[in-house]
Amino acid sequence: MNIGITCYPTYGGSGVVATELGKSLASRGHRVHFITYALPMRLTGIGHTESEYIDNIFYHEVEMSTYPLFEFPLYSMALTSKMVEVARFEKLDLIHAHYAIPHATSAVLAKQILHGDGRSLTSDIKIVTTLHGTDITLVGLEPSFEPLMKFSIESSDVVTAVSRYLRDETIGNYGVSKEIDVIPNFIDTEVFRPVDAKNLRRLLAPNGEKLLIHISNFREVKRVKDAIRALKIILDAGVKAKFLLVGDGPDRGECQALARDLGIWQQTRFLGKQSELASILSASDVFLIPSGNESFGLSALEAMACGVPVVSSDVGGLPELNVDGETGFVVKVGDVEALAERTLQILREPKLHAKLSRGALRHATTEFTKERIVPMYEAAYERALSRAR
Ligand code: GMT
């Protein structure tokens, strides 16, 4: 197939999913065209080494020109125009839009332009839209977007969501009348796997401390401060521990200030954005994800694939991924005491840690591998292509 992919290209789960999907589709023989305003983050390694090079991947930059009369950039228009250009020239079979707003909206408009265009070689292009949760957040912040979200979803040929929670929420609470297939996030088990991290662990925890880890973009919804407060309780309970905080975002400064205020700065390490995640995860004992909302929780899946048990909140799609008592523990969102208590339990009981670690690895590597999930996307594409015009 000849596939156009539009996603948010910078740091964030949806961009990672879209990019890893594109790479995997290309290695399975499809031609993949990324149509984005910047090179997707996990595509940047291409060409550094022979093994990183993937044939069949093409990048089409959405260029933004400025015009003094227009106060705001016309991104959706520029994206639509680029989609039309790429679809015509590359004879795309379909566009896979990650997010209804603005990506599926642009794709729907591009499709209409192409349909009505006698010159077009690709007059029956299909649209597959994947929901990652951001649309719902957006509509929550700006209710006037609701009709646009529904229109963009309902005008797509096939729609997927990354968890049952997100599918049910989209249909139930927003009244979207469209069949939505659940296709969860996935990992490349050659990249995310338990690796020997003894040396790194010695460096990060020279006095034999336990290592907690959190990875996110430090947005408010991630509730990183809950995890820092839980660390304080864990330390007060007499367990020697350090907390690795990976990533960057708007709440990072407040989190650092909180660690200082609580007098636990020395026990935290803010590492910023890191690329060698498998080593850092493999060196760690417990992954904390106390989010206030989370459609899936890709970072938790990456931790599980490295054999790290997860303590998560009970919101969104997290309980579908983190099976309470099997891959880690699930606690009520905002319950810092429970977050600390469950983490302490894992840190204090080596047998429990080993059992949850095995469970996390097993669950991640049986249910959420790219070998299992990517064909689900291919099937979704087939369904879209078989739909009448
Ligand atoms: O979590 C973020 O802040 C980024 C966000 C995005 O739109 O990239 O991630 C969302 O999509 C990921 C991939 O499907 C999911 O794993 C994340 O759970 C989801 N984030 C939220 O729902 C908050």
330 in Cβ contact with 354 (< 8 Å): no
**Which residue's CA is the closest to the ligand 1 atom numbered 4?**
12
Closest ligand 1 atom to 298 CA: 16
pLDDT tens, position by position, 213-269 = 999 999 999 999 999 999 999 999 999 999 999 999 999 999 999 999 999 999 999
Q: Is 137 exposed, middle or buried (0-12, 13-18, 19+ CB in 10 A)?
A: middle
Angle between the N-to-C axes of helices 298-305 and 350-367, in degrees from 0 to 180, rounded to the nearest 10: 110
Q: Is the pLDDT of residue 273 over 80?
A: yes
Q: Which helix (H) or strand (E) holds 95?
A: strand 94-98
For ligand 1, is residue 312 a contact (CB within 6 Å)?
no
Indicate whether 371 pLDDT > 80: yes
Atom 21 of ligand 1: nearest residue by CA position: 294
What pLDDT is recorded for position 359? Answer: 98
Task: Determine whether the shortest distance from the Cβ of 298 to ligand 1 is under 6 A.
Answer: yes
| 343 contacts 286 by C-beta, under 8 angstroms | yes
pTM, entire model: 0.95
Structure tokens at 163: 């968890």
How buried is 113 (Cβ within 10 angstroms: 0-12 exposed, 13-18 middle, 19+ buried)?
middle
- Please compute Rg for the chain using Cα positions: 22
Give the type of residue at 108. V
Confidence at 46, pLDDT banded by 50, 70, 90: low
What is the distance in A from the centroid of ligand 1 to the CA of 332? 20
Residue whose structure tokens are 């929670």: 165
Is 133 close to ligand 1, i.e. is its CB under 6 Å away? Answer: yes
d(CA 178, CA 138): 19
Quick check: 47 pLDDT over 60? no
pLDDT for 229: 98
pLDDT tens digits, 18-37: 999 999 999 999 999 999 99
pLDDT tens for 138-191 read: 888 899 999 999 999 999 999 999 999 999 999 998 889 999 999 999 999 999
Q: Determine if ligand 1 sits within 6 Å of the CB of residue 219.
A: yes
313 within ligand 1 shell (Cβ under 6 A): no
- Number of the ligand 1 atom closest to the C-alpha atom of 17: 13
294 lines ligand 1 (CB under 6 A): yes
Domains in the chain: ranges and CATH: 2-186+370-386 (3.40.50.2000), 198-367 (3.40.50.2000)
At residue 365, the 3 state secondary structure works out as helix
Q: Report how far apart the first and last C-alpha atoms of the chain are (Å, whole number).
A: 18
H/E stretch holding 5: strand 2-6
Q: Checking DSSP bridges between strand 158-161 and strand 241-246, what pairing results, if any?
A: unpaired
Phi/psi region, residue 39 (left: phi>0; alpha: psi -120 to 50; beta: rest), is beta
Residue 145 φ/ψ, nearest 5 degrees: -80, -10
Helix (H, G, I), strand (E, B) or coil at 313: strand
C-alpha 355/C-alpha 300 separation (Å) is: 17
Cβ neighbors of 70 (< 8 A, separation 6 or more) are none
Q: CA triplet 135, 137, 138: central angle to 5 degrees?
A: 65
> Distance between CA atoms of 378 and 388, rounded to whole angstroms?
18
Mean pLDDT over all residues of the chain?
Answer: 94
Centroid of chain to Cα 235: 31
Ranges of beta strands (E only) in 163-284 are 180-182, 210-215, 241-246, 268-272
Predicted local distance difference test score (pLDDT) of residue 122:
54
Distance 69 CA to ligand 1 centre (A): 35
User: Quick one: pLDDT at residue 124?
Assistant: 86
Instruction: Provide the 10 A C-beta neighbour count for residue 38.
Output: 15
Per-residue pLDDT at 49 exceeds 90: no
303 CB contacts (<8 Å, ≥6 apart)? 213, 215, 281, 284, 287, 310, 360
Q: Which atom of ligand 1 is nearest to the CA of 130?
A: 14
| Residue 13 Cβ < 6 Å to ligand 1 | yes
Q: For residue 210, list its beta bridge partners.
A: 241
How many angstroms is it from 296 CA to the middle of ligand 1?
Answer: 7
